[in-house]
A and B are shown apart, each in its own frame.
Chain A
C-alpha cells in the first residue's frame, strides 16, 4: 500500500538526486494502473492456484522474485522516471487463503498530485460503476523519523470502492501520495485489496 510507496518514493528520489537525470517527466496512467491491478489481482479471487502458477515465473531471473515457499511474490519494472510493480502476500491454510495484492506506479518528477488523484478516483468509479469514498488530506510527518525529509507534511489521497470484482465484500483501495526532497518531486499511486479466498491448490 502507499505507506510502502512512500518509502520507495523516498528511495527513488534519492536516486534521482544522485543521478541527476533529466528525462522528461511522465504522468501516472491511472487507467493502465487499473488494468494491471485487474490483470494481476483478480485471478487470486477466483482461481488462486492458476494465478499462482502464472506468477511463479517471477523467479530471480526476471524482474522481481518469489519467496522460497512460493507464498510471496514481487514484480517490479519501470521506465526512465519511475517504478511500477506488484506485491502479493499469500497465506494458504487448507482450503482457504489470505491474499493481499498491491500494485503501484511511482513517477519521479512526473504527474501532478491533484490531477493524479482525480484520475485515479475517476477510473475507480468508471470501471466499477460505483461511487468512491474518500478524498485528499495532509499528513503531518513526525520530525525524527525518515519522513522528516518531506518537509513536515505530505499530500495524500485515499479512495475506497467496491464492485471491482464479483465478490461484493472485496474493497479496492486506491492511494496517491506526493513527496519531494531536494527539489525533486514524485507522485505515487497504488491499488490494493485484501481478502480471504477459496484455495483450489
Chain B
C-alpha cells in the first residue's frame, strides 16, 4: 500500500464531502422521500426483529411473517432450502438477514439500516448509539473511531490523499440473549446500521 501525500487541502475535503452528499441523493433515488435519520428507531426495529432472528427462523417468522408492510415477499430460499433470506422495511428502515444451513452449523444474521442524507453528524450518531447500546455485567464493547482512507481508484480517483472517511465501528458481545451472538454498530456520514450475527449448532 502506497504511502499517500499528506499535504492538507481543504478544497479537496470539501469536494469529497460534497460528492458524498450528492451520492447519497443519487443513490437513494429522486422519488424517495428523505426521512430524518433516527437512531432510536433503528434500535426499536432491531429489538423487534433481531433477537428473534438470533433465536432462529421459527422465532423470526412469528414476528416477521410475509408479506411485509409494503406487500413485499419478505422471505426467499435457495433451491436446496439451505439458505433462507428475509428482507423487509419499517418505513425507510431496512431489515435484512438470512439463515444458512447445510453444514453442522447454522449461521444467523440480521441487520437494520437506514440511508438518508438527512442525518446528524457522525459524532452525534455515535453518541446516540453509545447512549442506547446495551451495557452492564457480561457485556463488552470494542472498536471506535476509524479514519479510513478511501482508495483513489476508478470512480474514487478524485478522492484527495489527505481525505479520511470518518466512520465509527463497534462490536458488542454479551448483549443478546443467544450465547456468542455479536452485535455490531457501524456508522458514517449519512449511514447508520446495526447488525447481529451468531453461529449455532444446526438443529
Contacts and interface: CB of A to CB of B under 8 A. Distances in A.
A134 B78 CA distance: 6
B7 interface: no
A60 B149 contact: yes
A93 B140 contact: yes
Interface in A104-149: 108, 132-149
B154 A82 contact: yes
Interface string B166-203: 01011101000000101010100001010101110000
B100 A17 contact: no
A194 B107 contact: yes
Interface string B125-165: 00000000000000010111111111101111000000011
A64 B165 CA distance: 9
A165 interface: no
A139 B74 CA distance: 7
Contacts of B89: 142-145, 147
Nearest to A149: B29
B169 A67 contact: yes
A14 B23 contact: yes
B14 interface: no
A160 interface: yes
B3 A146 contact: no
A144 B32 contact: yes
A89 B107 contact: no
A66 B146 contact: yes
A159 B151 CA distance: 29
Interface stretch (A4-12, A29-37, A43-51): A4-12
Interface stretch (B46-54, B55-63, B79-87): B79-87
A199 interface: no
Nearest to A66: B146
A54 interface: no
B27 A145 contact: no
Interface in B24-43: 24, 26-29, 31-33
B156 A78 contact: yes
Nearest to A146: B115
A160 B151 contact: no
B19 interface: yes
A71 B98 contact: no
A158 B173 contact: no
B169 A72 contact: yes
A147 B27 CA distance: 9
Contacts of A80: 153-154
A140 B171 contact: no
B107 A160 contact: yes
A171 B107 contact: yes
A91 interface: yes
A179 to B, nearest CB: 11
Contacts of B76: 137-140, 156
B182 to A, nearest CB: 6
A154 to B, nearest CB: 8
A68 B102 contact: no
Given A144-B33, A162-B103, 18 more contacts: A21-B155, A62-B4, A67-B144, A68-B146, A71-B143, A89-B171, A93-B140, A100-B197, A135-B79, A142-B87, A143-B70, A146-B28, A146-B115, A148-B29, A148-B32, A159-B83, A171-B105, A181-B29
Interface of A: 1, 3-4, 7, 10-19, 21, 23, 57-58, 60-69, 71-72, 74-83, 89-93, 98, 100, 108, 132-149, 156-162, 168-169, 171, 173, 181, 194-196
